[in-house]
Amino acid sequence: MAQLEARNGLAGLRVLLGVSGGIAAYKACELVRRLREAGAEVRVVLTENAARFVTPLTFQALSGQPVRSGLWDEAAEAAMGHLELAHWAQHIVIAPASADLVARLAHGFADDLLTTLCLASTAPLAIAPAMNLRMWAHAATQANVATLRGRGAAFLGPGEGRMAEAESGLGRLLEPHQIVAELAALRGPKALTGKRVLVSAGPTYEDIDPVRFIGNRSSGRMGFAVAQAAMEQGASVELVAGPVHLQTPAGVARVDVRSARDMREAVLARAQHSDIYIGAAAVGDFRPHEVAAHKLKKTGGALTLSLNENPDILAAVAALKQRPYVVGFAAETQNIEGYARAKLERKKLDLIAANKVGEGEGFDACQNEILLISRDGAERLARADKLALARQLVERIAEKYADWESSNGNRKDTGRARSKARAPRRTRMRGK
């Protein structure tokens, strides 16, 4: 399925793959294979250091094309000059990109073949970094990343996990299949161009006193992935986030909130001007009746907290006169479809994405499964990591939104120009 999607976006694409020095360079071999399987034509350029990790011959055999490394290779220049190669490329992908290469690209260096090609080409640039976690987190690297993003470069990853030095953190090269999927998403048709998508994500915290709060185990990953997927589909995305430890997806405007009432205020201030609202936050249902001004002290007995119910944000958005297309989530431990359908009706939603939580599922898990329910049917989205799942979900939302928008054509306009862009019609939801 993922392979098929990748093939759709990448068939016939001329990819210039730049490989820089680092232990992750070996993964670029697998990347060449997967890009070719997806239908792309690949030419590899190695930096001098990359050639210390993997031989040009390996890449030559895998790509079926001559591999270039230096600027001063007369035979290679005679076959295809470097400016010709820069012109040949329809997309430049750099994987792995070392901290040094990211810095040189950010500063416009042209001191080797790869950086020269990047300057000489007008092809879009996708960078998959791989470096030690502290090098990635360093302010210098982050400033270089921001510079490159500002110029339109896309960063694929880095991922999180174990690294070569037996440390763990952010800085790992994405797996080759993830790089191919991300590239396919960058190249794919954009179903939400000109649309405004509002997403809520993460938990909410309700203060008990200055040091304690009631929270929940939502990581915010699903909502952040949904925001990224909507952005990839060309939408302008606002993300209202509860307290989470996640990087904001590039190009997404983020507003941080803490409590359910803060989140409600931030969402309602934006909802009327949005085309689609996706409520992926795990909003706390209750808050303490009162927040103690000072830290509560033990008294040797039980502490009784009186809780009030929080307002329902999703239902409030769905009840607006000029309302966006409203998508909710339902995190359930049992009777998933029954409870989710009841929520769809009770909150007057257009669509609900139901998933199972508990026992390694849902909140903290990296993989997930969704049952997507609307009034006219239900559809199961394939189990996948949260970003892949979010991409499937956003594709379906775009299709359903296009139908909804055309049948709501007479609703009052919010005053801003509505794009005529429509999501491509794809599969219909299967009837239950």
Q: Which residues bind ligand CTP (CB under 6 A)?
A: 260, 279, 281, 283, 285, 310, 312-314, 328-331, 343
Nearer to ligand CTP, 186 or 378 (CB): 378
Shortest Å distance, C-beta 353 to ligand CTP? 8
Nearer to ligand CTP, 54 or 240 (CB): 240
What is the C-alpha to C-alpha distance for residues 101 and 118, in angstroms, rounded to an integer? 11
| 3-state secondary structure at position 186 | helix
Q: Cα angle vertex 159, ends 126, 7, to 5°?
A: 50
Task: Please say if 216 is a catalytic residue.
Answer: yes
Nearer to ligand CTP, 71 or 316 (CB): 316
User: Which residue in 83, 23, 17 sits closest to 45, CA to CA?
Assistant: 17
Tokens read off for 227: 């925001």
Shortest Å distance, C-beta 180 to ligand CTP? 31
**What is the DSSP secondary structure assignment for residue 387, as one 8-state letter?**
H
Whether the Cβ atoms of residue 264 and residue 316 lie closer than 8 Å to each other: yes
Whether the Cβ atoms of residue 367 and residue 386 lie closer than 8 Å to each other: yes
> Who contacts 362 (Cβ-Cβ below 8 Å, separation ≥6)?
331, 355, 356, 368
Nearer to ligand CTP, 128 or 260 (CB): 260
Tokens read off for 199: 């997403």
Tokens read off for 8: 């759709």
What is the C-alpha to C-alpha distance for residues 196 and 371, in angstroms, rounded to an integer? 24
What is the C-alpha to C-alpha distance for residues 22 and 173, in angstroms, rounded to an integer? 10
Shortest Å distance, C-beta 240 to ligand CTP? 11
What is the C-alpha to C-alpha distance for residues 37 and 46, in angstroms, rounded to an integer? 21
Shortest Å distance, C-beta 338 to ligand CTP? 12
Nearer to ligand CTP, 103 or 268 (CB): 268
Shortest Å distance, C-beta 429 to ligand CTP? 19
The four Cα atoms 163, 363, 389, 93 give a dihedral, to 10 degrees, of -20
Q: Is the dihedral of CA 284, 273, 195, 346 positive or negative?
A: positive
From 8, 49, 132, 216, the catalytic residue: 216
Long-range contacts of 187-190 (CB under 8 A, 24+ apart): 187/9, 187/10, 187/13, 187/91, 188/5, 188/8, 188/9, 188/232, 189/424, 190/232, 190/233, 190/234
Shortest Å distance, C-beta 46 to ligand CTP? 48
Nearer to ligand CTP, 40 or 336 (CB): 336
What is the C-alpha to C-alpha distance for residues 284 and 331, in angstroms, rounded to an integer? 12
> Who contacts 332 (Cβ-Cβ below 8 Å, separation ≥6)?
339, 340, 354, 355, 356, 357
Shortest Å distance, C-beta 224 to ligand CTP? 14
What is the C-alpha to C-alpha distance for residues 16 and 120, in angstroms, rounded to an integer? 13
Nearer to ligand CTP, 346 or 426 (CB): 346
**What is the DSSP secondary structure assignment for residue 82, as one 8-state letter?**
H
**Active site members:** 216
